[in-house]
Amino acid sequence: MVHYSSAHADSPVAAPGQCEDLPGTVDLLIIGGGVMGLWAAVKAARLGLSALLLEADRPGAGASGGLLGALMAHLPDRWSDKKQFQFDALVSLEDEVAQLEAETGHSCGYRRSGRLIPLPKPHLRQIAEGHARDAAIHWRAGERSFDWSVLDHSPSPQWLSPQAAMAGIAHDGLAGRIAPRGLVSALTRAVDQSHSVRRMSGAPVARLFGDHAVLENGTRIGFGHCLIAAGHQSFALLQKLQAPEALPLLQPLGSAVKGQAAILQADVDPFLPVIFLNGLYVVAHEGGHVAIGSTSENRFEEAFSTDHLLDDLIARARLLSPALAEAPVIERWAGLRPRAIDRDPIVGPHPDFPRISALTGGFKVSFGIAHRLADAALSGLSGAALDLPPSFLFEHHLRVASQDV
């Protein structure tokens, strides 16, 4: 096995701040320095809220510091409130990134590059042609529209092998990519530039109560409100919040799913669309970097080391893209992503602990929707109704977790 590597030119560095400098009480406590918590901190700063962001390690130390950065849309068929939310988020992310880059001078590596989905069999082409009609109806935002089309041939045979697409290729014009570490770095910079939000690294939280948190070193911090955005570690913190009269939780609120990915060095155009086939993503980034990923492992022995499963992904990617046939691997990565019990994000106030709200989950789509989830979570602090699909709400996940299966 190969151990997780965190060395990267875009890796965010830990911010100033030590545990002994922590205040005794804060208006808003944000727990977690990944993409969810950082967006919440940036949005809180823009609203002029006084907040403290606690990181167990450093910014993006978990799944948010990964490699892939694919911004994938749900398929446009069988439209739902969840698909509408993700669509709106993916469209609005373009302006969000532009504002963040203007504020910080940091590139987020964002590009609406599109996506190619090889169609190896004729019946898949028929399904894809139906999606084109669905996209024409649903993939609209004001005067903007995003296409879904079916191509007969690969637009770039060196990028996507014609042998992988014997029945054609679906082209998705909504999808894109972002550099995970670039985004984390820009968000971190924005927080550090703010006047109302402080950030502390190396401050893991051990336990939550209705009006305060206790760190692993025993430090107690009181809060007016608290947002839990600690990735897969959020579930254990939230699981322990149980009012005596509440239904017992018979299942965990969520679990950690292991993902493995790699970066290859190749002489490819960074404008190339993302390739997706049967769970494999191939993503062209700046500087000749091509991200390959990712696994979704519900069972694993070593969370932060890579193995033959990543080797298999890389081998599949080389067959899919001739441009990668001889491309050297320059980094291998493994980490844990949060998957909530009902797969959707968990957002909003705990029904029995109104000062505590969740902002976690998201699983594979967090980078595309975290900014919108942060907006919703912060609006909920004032008691406003959350403009979210019902299955995203904290109370929904609590009901699911209280069911015997």
d(CA 312, CA 327): 15
- What are 69-112's pLDDT values in tens digits? 999 989 999 999 999 999 999 999 999 999 999 999 999 999 99
Give the pLDDT band (50/70/90) at residue 404.
confident
Pick from 319, 325, 317: nearest CA to 262: 317
Question: Model's pTM, two decimal places?
Answer: 0.94
- What are 318-327's pLDDT values in tens digits? 999 999 999 9
| Predicted local confidence at residue 97, as pLDDT | 98
Domain spans, the chain: 6-65+181-254+342-401, 111-178+257-340
The DSSP code sequence of 335-395 is EEEEEETTSS-EEEEETTEEEEEEEE--TT-HHHHHHHHHHHHHHHTTTPPP-S-GGGBHH
Pick from 35, 19, 16: nearest CA to 205: 19
d(CA 41, CA 24): 19
User: What percent of the chain is modeled with pLDDT above 70?
Assistant: 95
Domain 111-178+257-340 bears CATH identifier 3.40.50.300? no
- Domain 6-65+181-254+342-401 fold is FAD/NAD(P)-binding domain (3.50.50)
| Predicted local confidence at residue 310, as pLDDT | 98
Pick from 174, 172, 175, 197: nearest CA to 187: 197
- Whole-Å CA distances, 239 to 103, 129, 229, 403: 37, 44, 14, 14
| Predicted local confidence at residue 18, as pLDDT | 54
pLDDT exceeds 70 at position 139? yes
- What are 333-356's pLDDT values in tens digits? 999 999 999 889 999 999 999 999
- What are 147-186's pLDDT values in tens digits? 999 999 999 999 999 999 999 999 999 999 999 999 999 9
Q: Average per-residue pLDDT in the chain?
A: 93
| Predicted local confidence at residue 179, as pLDDT | 97
Give the pLDDT band (50/70/90) at residue 1.
low
pLDDT exceeds 90 at position 362? no
- What are 117-136's pLDDT values in tens digits? 999 999 999 999 999 999 99
The DSSP code sequence of 166-218 is TT-EEEESS-EE--HHHHHHHHHHHHHH-SSEEEESS--EEEE-SSEEEETTS
- Whole-Å CA distances, 243 to 3, 239, 247, 392: 41, 11, 9, 21
